[in-house]
Amino acid sequence: MITATDKESIKNIIGYRCAPLIQEELNTSKEFNKGGQSYSTSHITNVMNGESHDVIEAAIYRVVDKRLALQQKRENLLHKKSAAGTADV
């Protein structure tokens, strides 16, 4: 179950309109509801608000991990550019 502090951290990392990102992750992972359809964004939002659902929670944390990796990669690129810029001077 996602707590209020978890929710705040997640939203700081992936943004406030995160349900479509999580839905896309679920679809990419071929994880669907018992009817064989995509999980709805409202169900994803309910899980973000504290409802327990293992499959959706796992997808949320996968999206967070991917976003953190992307942010780290960007930060490394910017750091390399700034280091290269100062080395030329």
pLDDT tens-digit readout, 30-53 = 999 999 999 999 999 999 999 999
Task: Indicate the pLDDT class of residue 88, thresholds 50, 70 and 90.
Answer: low
Reading phi first (left if > 0) and then psi (alpha if -120 to 50, else beta), residue 36 is in left
pTM: 0.85
